[in-house]
Amino acid sequence: MKKADVVVVGGSAAGPVAGITVRRHYKDVSILLIRKESKVMVPCGIPYIFGTVGSPDKNVIPDALLSNNGIELMVDEVTMGDRVAKTLTTAGGETIGYEKLILATGSLPLQPPIPGMELENVFAMYKDADYLGRVQEVLRNSSDLVIIGGGFIGAEMADECKKIGNANVTIVEILPHCLLLALDEEFCVRAEDALTQRGIRVITNNGVKAILGDGKVNSVELQSGDKLKADAVIIGIGAVPNTELARKMGLKIGEQRGIWVDKYMRTSDKNIFACGDCAEKFSFFTKKPSGLRLASIATIEARIAGANVFKPKRENKGAVGIFSTAFGDFALSAAGLTEKAAKDAGLDVVIGEAAAADKHPGSMPNARELKTKLIFDRKTRKLIGGELSGGTTTGEMANVIAALIQKEMTADEVATFQMGTHPALTASPIVYQIVNAAEQAAIKLR
């Protein structure tokens, strides 16, 4: 029987980082990573396969990441585990012993209960290179593409599919706006404007009643009664934790359907850890169960789980949630709670807003307006969220906000936060958006 001190199941964002973190903290243990995919997709890169990057083969997480860190790789599917014997069994007939087990089994695309989901050319975004290669072939030859769901995956897929051909691309979103779970309405409107300007049709406030066709999909019927022609349909309405193995092994499952974990990322079995999309999460802000599922959260959880595998060293503080996306050179990002999410959580909020060129003076080439909105909790005066729209620095600016949030800075502290500036790289120090938005809120809080 094969045996390793630490066995990691799953090869996407969380699994390799968990393995590498174990190696960094424990030089001498044996580490085995088991995954079912021969090639692993960079998860956030999947939409970009279809346009910018060009093929699944250019979106692969290199296996050198494992071998360079002394992590053995086994490509096989773990089908069952025995917590008493501390063994796993695989589809390939292997039995593997573990001392400590880290589950990073990820998530699966959420399948909506819509008639017609089984039709040919209706695709969900499985993280599988061969599958995605087949999807790409179909999309290349599509002339009418309907994307169900206007979240990040839907919006990014729409933009990428528009780049490759001349297909009519339509997003159907059941909520009043695209991206509404991550951004406040005014930012969603800017995203929709960008998508529309790029030739994408955006239908909101309208669900899908049925996917229609005869063997192959040929149209989509909306709840409004309208019908959209469609020779391919992409489902992008979210993901559900893949907890099949955990359930079979009798591990506790959480309210949000993830594998239950404590603050050390330990499951209900203290020799088994879980991290990434498969693991239950809680909010940094409310400490309540959270439905957030992001590669960035997955890797941080993996760094906690990996460090803790032989003894608790690090604690999970809860998911902050930091998003960003780009449509051409227009980008949007967010960290923490939106105004709406904060109000829904019962918080009394104070808003600060600022806009300025993202370079200075504004006559610098490629300068564009960058807007910031910050959300503070009136009671604690602390920063609890921020949103940005502008150019390509908004991704890292969301990380500035994320840092300020995680260290619980008040409006006054953010208003005197020392930042650096440069004409070609940032706004002027006089109008630096995060600081000025915080000052506006600080005044309201006095």
Residues 30-69 that bind its own copies (CB under 8 A): 42, 44-45, 48, 52-54, 58-61, 65
Q: Which is nearer to its own copies, 20 or 246 (CB)?
A: 20
Judged by CB under 8 A, which of 2, 25, 257, 378 binds its own copies?
25
Using CA atoms, how far apart are residues 279 and 270, in angstroms rounded to an integer? Answer: 15
Contacting its own copies within 278-297 (CB under 8 A)? 284, 294-297
The region of 77-85, 102-110, 184-192, 427-435 touching its own copies under the rule CB under 8 A is 427-435
b/e map 369-400, b = 16+ CB within 10 Å: ebbbbbbbbeeebbbbbbbbbbbebbbebbeb
Of 85, 93, 97, 39, nearest in space to 66 by CA: 39
CB of 351 to its own copies, least distance (A): 15
> Number of residues in contact with its own copies, rule: CB under 8 A?
83
Q: Which is nearer to its own copies, 108 or 427 (CB)?
A: 427
Q: Which is nearer to its own copies, 176 or 328 (CB)?
A: 328
Q: Cα–Cα distances in Å, from 96 out to 34, 81, 91?
A: 10, 9, 12
Of 261, 259, 306, nearest in space to 100 by CA: 306
Q: Which is nearer to its own copies, 23 or 177 (CB)?
A: 23
Token reading at 40: 């692993």
Using CA atoms, how far apart are residues 304 and 313, in angstroms rounded to an integer? Answer: 8
Judged by CB under 8 A, which of 11, 16, 213, 385 binds its own copies?
16
| Residue labelled with tokens 């964002």 | 13
CB of 203 to its own copies, least distance (A): 25
CB of 355 to its own copies, least distance (A): 14
CB of 154 to its own copies, least distance (A): 15
Q: Which is nearer to its own copies, 116 or 321 (CB)?
A: 321
Contacting its own copies within 360-419 (CB under 8 A)? 360-361, 363-365, 392-400, 402-404, 406-407, 409, 412, 415-419
Q: Which is nearer to its own copies, 29 or 65 (CB)?
A: 65
CB of 167 to its own copies, least distance (A): 21
CB of 261 to its own copies, least distance (A): 15
Using CA atoms, how far apart are residues 107 and 49, in angstroms rounded to an integer? Answer: 19
CB of 42 to its own copies, least distance (A): 5
b/e map 42-78, b = 16+ CB within 10 Å: bbbbbbbbbbebeebeebebebebbeebebebbbbeb
Q: Does 247 bind its own copies (CB under 8 A)?
A: no
CB of 255 to its own copies, least distance (A): 21
Q: Does 183 bind its own copies (CB under 8 A)?
A: no
CB of 215 to its own copies, least distance (A): 35
Using CA atoms, how far apart are residues 5 and 98, in angstroms rounded to an integer? Answer: 6
Q: Which is nearer to its own copies, 87 or 393 (CB)?
A: 393
The region of 73-81, 89-97, 132-140, 433-441 touching its own copies under the rule CB under 8 A is 433-441
Q: Which is nearer to its own copies, 49 or 220 (CB)?
A: 49
Q: Does 135 bind its own copies (CB under 8 A)?
A: no
State CA 85 to chain mean position distance: 35
Judged by CB under 8 A, which of 69, 175, 428, 445 binds its own copies?
428
Q: Cα–Cα distances in Å, from 207 out to 48, 113, 149, 178?
A: 26, 12, 9, 12
Q: Which is nearer to its own copies, 207 or 362 (CB)?
A: 362
Q: Does 121 bind its own copies (CB under 8 A)?
A: no
Taking CB under 8 A as the rule, which mask of x and - marks residues 301-330 in contact with its own copies?
Answer: --xx--------xx--x-xx-xxxxx----
Tell me if residue 190 falls in helix, strand or coil. Answer: helix
Q: Which is nearer to its own copies, 105 or 324 (CB)?
A: 324
Longest dimension (CA), the chain: 69
Q: Does 333 bind its own copies (CB under 8 A)?
A: yes
Using CA atoms, how far apart are residues 109 and 127, in angstroms rounded to an integer? Answer: 9
| Residue labelled with tokens 């949030």 | 405
Token reading at 235: 């489902």
| Residue labelled with tokens 């890292």 | 396
CB of 94 to its own copies, least distance (A): 27
Using CA atoms, how far apart are residues 124 and 139, in angstroms rounded to an integer? Answer: 13
Residue 150 near residue 204, CB atoms below 8 Å: yes
CB of 58 to its own copies, least distance (A): 4
CB of 102 to its own copies, least distance (A): 15
Sequence-ordered alpha helix ranges (H) in 63-143: 64-67, 129-140
- What DSSP designation does 263 have? T
Contacting its own copies within 209-228 (CB under 8 A)? none
